[in-house]
Amino acid sequence: MRKKKKIKGFRFQPFSLKQKKLLFFWEKGSPFDDRDIVIADGAIRSGKTIAMICSFIRWSLKHFNGENFILAGKTIGALKKNVIGPMQQILTAWNLKYEYNRSENFIVIGDNTYYMYDANTEASQDKLQGLTAAGALGDEVALFPQNFVDQMIGRCSVEGAKIFLNCNPGSPYHFIKTEFIDKFKEKNILYMHFDMDDNLSLSQRVKERFKRMFSGVFFKRYILGLWVQAEGIIYDMFDEIKHKVQTMQRAYKEFYVSCDYGTQNATVFLLWGNYLGKWYLVDEYYYSGRDKGKQKTDNEYYDDLVKFVGNRRIKAIVIDPSAASFIALIRQKGKFTIKKAKNDVLEGIRNVASALNDMLLQFNDCCVSTFKEFFSYVWDEKAVQRGEDKPVKVMDHAMDAIRYFVNTILFSSNKLKSMDKSLLGL
């Protein structure tokens, strides 16, 4: 039998004044106790999430008995990592008994039941249908579809219900900004803005490390906590002087290939090698049937892949899950292991930007097509006006392949643990 993991109690640090406001805003006598919704936004690592979880637990247990509550994250995995894990530690520290049903995704505290939901797509709202709730906690709510947020709020119809929402900033046209934060007075919302100084547990050294991780729009959003527009070049932190290196023989420790597969569009193979704790783009394969005037079959691309790899031992081919026919062929041949890529575009772009800022990636100067794309990969201005952050889908094939590698391999927990901590600034 698998041994049940023992949950350690949360190690609390002193709360800042802003965290205390979030903790106690609903208490009787507070000037904000009548607010229906609380929204906490701002910088990463600013202490808003832990203070909100603590506030939500205390409020729900003090005011309700035998009611249902909503816990929502973009994915169930993200919710368990960001909310459920810390919640278990907090309950353990407070010596409060709970029952966690992992298979059915709910947790019972006292006589209250807290149901877990993902808010990944427009269809996610359907899972909320029929539920009557006394409150909700939405984690990283700026990543939710608007119809899910509206449905979640609509489900909280028990007298005295409150909605707890937190997020990092996005576009100034995002519905959370335009429909909630900008209208906080008329909608009876308590709006709180956090920065890293509101988290007293962060040392100055850690704050400086986080500041080094981001630049451009990501710095403004995740460090300064501003709702600013994404515009211009996406990877404005990419610097040929710093990131481009001479193509030469190196004693690479392991290899991966990331692949963006296209039929009408270009197909790209990127060969990655690990050398002294950094990942190098060793070589590239870039073929556009549209530009060459001749499309290739899956079998022709496979033959090109085998030739491109040569006698190197590849740990896995990281490929977009939508490339079903090519994945099936590679598996049929049996030479390579397939790893389906994590294909969250915005998360991947953020992670690539962080890797570039932290100098975790280097690019051999033979990868000419990749360099061309770095300087033409831009935000979609029309999407920005709709409150969405999306790249223009032109000349983005190497960029997609880089994103697949970084999101799936470089930013996987095992890889980060094995990397040289000095490179991460830890």
pLDDT in tens, 9-48: 889 999 999 999 999 999 999 999 999 999 999 999 999 9
Average pLDDT over residues 207-215: 87
Give domain status of residue 94, yes or no: yes
Last residue of a domain, one of 143, 173, 202: 202
Tell me how many domains the chain contains. Answer: 2
Considering the domain architecture, whether residues 183 and 312 belong to the same structural domain is answered as no
Q: Is the pLDDT of residue 5 over 80?
A: no
Whether 419 shows a pLDDT value over 80: the answer reads no
pLDDT at 301: 96
- Give the model's pLDDT for residue 213: 82
Could you tell me the CATH number of the domain that includes residue 266? 3.30.420.280
244-245 and 267-275 strand pairing: unpaired
pLDDT of residue 270: 98
210 is a domain residue: no
Q: Which domain holds residue 255?
A: 240-424
Q: Based on the fold, state whether residues 158 and 250 are members of the same structural domain.
A: no
Distances from the Cα of 68 to the Cα of 26, 165, 213, angstroms: 19, 17, 40
Give residue 293's pLDDT: 76
Specify if 312 maps to a domain.
yes
- Is residue 425 very low, low, confident or very high in pLDDT (cuts 50, 70, 90)? very low
pLDDT (average), residues 233-257: 94
The answer to whether residues 113 and 258 belong to one domain is: no
The torsion defined by the Cα of 83, 84, 89 and 94, in degrees rounded to 10, comes to: 90
What is the average per-residue pLDDT within 183-209? Answer: 95
Do 194 and 258 lie in one domain? The reply is no
Task: Report the share of the chain in percent with pLDDT over 90.
Answer: 83
Question: Minimum mean pLDDT among 156-160, 284-288, 321-325, 382-386: which range?
Answer: 382-386
> Which pLDDT score is estimated for 126?
95
Residue 423: pLDDT band with limits 50, 70, 90 = very low
For the cut 90, the answer to whether the pLDDT of residue 231 exceeds it is: no
Range scoring the smallest mean pLDDT among 142-156, 189-203, 277-291, 408-422:
408-422
Task: Calculate mean pLDDT across residues 234-259.
Answer: 94
Evaluate whether 145 touches 125 at the Cβ level (below 8 Å).
yes
pLDDT average, residue stretch 237-264:
93
| Residue 420 confidence (pLDDT) | 37
SS3 track for the chain: CCCCCCCCCCCCCCCCHHHHHHHHCCCCCCCCCCCCEEEEEECCCCCHHHHHHHHHHHHHHHHCCCCEEEEEECCHHHHHHHHHHHHHHHHHHCCCCEEEECCCCEEEECCEEEEEEECCCHHHHHHHCCCCCCEEEECCHHHCCHHHHHHHHHHCCCCCCEEEEEECCCCCCCHHHHHHHCCCCCCCEEEEEECHHHCCCCCHHHHHHHHHHCCHHHHHHHCCCCCCCCCCECCCCCCHHHHEECCCCCCCCCEEEEEECCCCCCEEEEEEEEECCEEEEEEEEEECHHHHCCCCCHHHHHHHHHHHHCCCCEEEEEECCCCHHHHHHHHHHCCCCEEECCCCHHHHHHHHHHHHHCCCEEEECCCHHHHHHHCCCEECHHHHHCCCCCECCCCCHHHHHHHHHHHHHHCCHHHHHHCCHHHHCC
Across 163-178, average pLDDT: 95
Same domain, 169 and 307: no
pLDDT tens readout for residues 37-92: 999 999 999 999 999 999 999 999 999 999 999 999 999 999 999 999 999 999 99
**Residue 4 lies inside a defined structural domain of this protein:** no
Determine, yes or no, domain membership for 162. yes
In a domain, 5, yes or no: no
Q: What mean pLDDT comes out for the span 379-408?
A: 91
Give me the percent of the chain exceeding a pLDDT of 70.
Answer: 96
Which of 150, 179, 202 corresponds to the end of one domain?
Answer: 202
Is residue 119 located within the same domain as residue 260? no
| pLDDT given at position 73 | 97
Residue 341 has pLDDT above 50, yes or no: yes
Regarding whether 282 and 189 lie in a shared domain, the answer is no
pLDDT recorded at residue 6:
80
Point out the domain boundary residue: 183, 202, 221. 202
Answer whether residue 2 is part of any domain: no
User: Is 1's pLDDT higher than 60?
Assistant: no
> For residue 327, which phi and psi values (nearest 5 degrees)?
-60, -45
Inside any domain, residue 46:
yes
Phi, psi dihedral angles at 6 (to 5 degrees): -80, 130
Higher pLDDT, 282 or 411: 282
The reported pLDDT for the residue numbered 4 is 57
* Residue 221 near residue 174, CB atoms below 8 Å: no
Q: What's the mean pLDDT when you consider all of the chain?
A: 92
